[in-house]
Structure 1
Amino acid sequence: MPVCVLVLNERDAAESLVTSLRDAGTHLLRVALVAPDAEPTSSGGPTAERIDDVDLLNPSLARNRRQRSMSRWLMPFGFLAGATFTQITTLDTFARFGTIGEVVIGGLLGLGSGLMGSYAAAASVPSDNEDGVRILRNRHKENSWLLLLETRPGVELPWTLVQKVRPQQVVRLSEL
């Protein structure tokens, strides 16, 4: 999904832009207003979120999501690989548990290896949005408001409305 994040000086500009976009009929899949740490998150208008609660702006949440996704296929594959390895080798490491117990223990060790592999792989794969997220987190530390706008694929924001609020910066995040 196309995601655009605007860096703004004040909350009123963000609220007026969201209202203008809705009045213009722009269909937004997601709107998230991120307040600076020094500002209150609610003041009559839409509730602002903390930056760590927005998954697109929090690298650790994205890494955890990648890890869970990878573990769904690495753990069963690891179990099968461990059980197969135990069957095809002549090693009797767990022979005291019987032939079935030995295969199950080998499979469980493979399952654990798959889990460890999912953590290692998720940590080693950088996100396409890493540079953009770093820029946005730095602007957030400088007490700027962030307005995340997500549209449907192929739908562009009306840039004339966006330019009326005079954003400090516009950061486009790649599709996720």
Structure 2
Amino acid sequence: MNYVIAVLPDRIQAEAAYTALEKAGLPLDKISILGKGYQTADEFGFIDPSQQARKQAQLMSYWLVPFGFIAGYVFNELTQIELFPWAGVLGNHLIGGVFGAIAGGMGSLFIGGGSGIAFGSGDALPYRNRLKQGKYLVVVKGAPNVTNQASRILKELNPENLQGYVDPTQPREK
């Protein structure tokens, strides 16, 4: 699936773009307007960076927490550090493992969550920010011939930004 996204400064220009695409014979079910009074970024399916970050942190925690526990246990066993005298040898090893698991959880939260916010959103975050600024997006999705025709039409309207994408998760249309 290919996409063309045009950023337009106001509702009037977004509607004019929609009308121009409609007059050119493009299928209306492939054209979307995003902005105030139209679809939101969530309704359209733009990735929410914070949701992606939570997902990334959770995935990292599945292997970092157990690895941290094992590393903490082994570290305490090798160094023979007595964390709490009342816990005994095995208890101190287990407490070292718990501290390692906590460190693994913190690593998944800060590294997995931080990188999810920084890199997990792709171009969705700038488009979300433009929508928050009151701008409008006209999105055309479809086969390459549809998006190429839409690009030519939208270029004539002088959008603030015009960008094309190919969705790598979808099979290519011909």
User: Which TM bucket (shorter chain)?
Assistant: 0.5 to 0.7
TM value normalised by structure 2: 0.61
- Tell whether 2:14 aligns with 1:10: yes
Residue pair 2:18, 2:138 contacting (<8 A) in 1 also: yes
Secondary structure of 2:163's match?
strand
Larger Rg: 2
Q: Using the alignment, how far apart are the partners of 1:3 and 1:79 within structure 2?
A: 45
Q: Which residue of 1 aligns with 2:127?
A: 136
Q: Using the alignment, how far apart are the partners of 2:61 and 2:45 within structure 1?
A: 23
Residue pair 2:41, 2:128 contacting (<8 A) in 1 also: no
Q: What residue identity is the alignment partner of 2:106?
A: M
- Please list every run of 5 or more consecutive structure 2 residues that lacks an aligned counterpart in the other structure: 170-174
Q: Which residue of 2 aligns with 1:127?
A: 119
Q: Which residue of 2 aligns with 1:40?
A: 37
Q: Which residue of 2 aligns with 1:71?
A: 61
Q: Using the alignment, how far apart are the partners of 1:81 and 1:99 within structure 2?
A: 16
Q: Using the alignment, how far apart are the partners of 2:95 and 2:32 within structure 1?
A: 47
Aligned residues: 156
Deviation of the 1:82 alpha carbon: 1.0
Deviation of the 1:5 alpha carbon: 3.5
Q: Using the alignment, how far apart are the partners of 2:2 and 2:64 within structure 1?
A: 30
Residue pair 1:17, 1:162 contacting (<8 A) in 2 also: no
Secondary structure of 1:158's match?
helix
Residue pair 1:82, 1:106 contacting (<8 A) in 2 also: yes
Counting only pairs closer than 5 Å after superposition, residues 1-176 of structure 1 correspond to structure 2 as 5-8=5-8, 9-10=13-14, 13=17, 20-21=26-27, 34-35=34-35, 39-41=36-38, 48-50=39-41, 54-56=45-47, 58-122=48-112, 123=114, 126-127=118-119, 132-133=123-124, 135-147=126-138, 156=144, 158-165=147-154, 166=157, 168=159, 169-172=161-164
Q: Using the alignment, how far apart are the partners of 2:140 and 2:86 within structure 1?
A: 60
Q: Deviations over 1:5-46 (max 9, x none)?
A: 3324435855996993577xx8xxxx97532xxx235xxxxx
Q: Using the alignment, how far apart are the partners of 1:70 and 1:2 within structure 2?
A: 31
Percent of aligned positions with the same letter in both sequences? 24
Residue pair 1:34, 1:49 contacting (<8 A) in 2 also: yes
- Please list every run of 5 or more consecutive structure 1 residues that lacks an aligned counterpart in the other structure: 42-47
TM value normalised by structure 1: 0.60
Go from structure 1 to structure 2 and tell me whether the alpha carbon gap of 1:32 and 1:164 turns closer, same or farther (over 3 Å shift). closer
Residue pair 1:86, 1:106 contacting (<8 A) in 2 also: yes
